Amino acid sequence: MADHIHPIFDRLVSRNEKELFLNQKAKVFWFTGLSGSGKSTIAEAVERELFNLGHLVQVLDGDNIRTGICNNLSFSLEDRKENIRRISEVSKLMVSAGVIALNSFVSPTNDIRAYAKSIIGDADFHLIYVKASVETCEARDVKGLYEKARAGIIKGFTGIDSPFDEPTDVQLILDTESETKEESVKKAVTYIKSLI
């Protein structure tokens, strides 16, 4: 067991080898935006399009993160930061495996987005802002969350009683007030394809 006759690059399958095998570059595309902006709808449609084009892609969102790796975190400021840290670390592991990650999280402040970027690394982190005003998102209120936030049933809800910073360091903006879903998805796919 003790004879390490192979050099390390030969024993470990590198990210680069996995990317060549999958014929893609692994990256993290991070969708930020208010609840109801259309982040997850777009991320899921983008996953489908990229998969149909032959790419291996994984959506990370509240559904598979808050119920799993982050199921012991609250919505306190400290725990929100830890939530973002864990998502970022999971994304790095996906990228190590050659997989493209599509992350759909409100991630409301420029600080928290910069924190995610610092963990994932500048070269792999790409921020996509799914833009819609609070008024529009509240009018949509797909999950009834804005109503609950206005009624005080949910505290610290982003856009109501918790801040949302307009993203400053952003690579792509999808304005879901002026674009159709199909237009936003097409823009995102075109952008992502140019990088993978």
Contact residues toward a second copy (CB under 8 A) are 1-4, 10-13, 17-18, 21-22, 38, 41, 44-45, 47-48, 51, 56-60, 64, 68-69, 72, 82, 86, 89-90, 92-94, 96-99, 140, 142, 176, 180-181
- State in angstroms the smallest separation of the CB of 158 from a second copy: 18
Nearer to a second copy, 69 or 170 (CB): 69
CA distance 154 to 65: 20
One-letter identity of residue 18: K
Residue 21 CA to its chain's centroid (Å): 24
Nearer to a second copy, 80 or 92 (CB): 92
- State in angstroms the smallest separation of the CB of 180 from a second copy: 8
Nearer to a second copy, 91 or 158 (CB): 91
Strand partners, 59: 102
Q: Which residues of 59-76 are buried (b: 16+ CB within 10 A; e: fewer)?
A: bbbeeebeeeebeebeee
- State in angstroms the smallest separation of the CB of 155 from a second copy: 26
Residue 107 a catalytic site member:
yes
Contacts of 79-88 with CB under 8 Å at 24 or more apart are: 80/112, 81/112, 81/115, 84/112, 84/115, 84/116, 85/115, 85/119, 87/60, 87/116, 88/115, 88/116, 88/119, 88/120
The token pair that represents 52 in the structure block: 């149909």
Nearer to a second copy, 82 or 162 (CB): 82
Strand order across the 100-104 sheet? 57-61, 100-104, 28-32, 125-131, 172-175
- State in angstroms the smallest separation of the CB of 181 from a second copy: 5
Identify the active-site residue in 35, 37, 40, 107.
107
Q: On the CB side of 101, how many CA atoms lie within 13 Å of its CA? A: 27
Nearer to a second copy, 65 or 149 (CB): 65
- State in angstroms the smallest separation of the CB of 125 from a second copy: 15
The catalytic residues are: 107
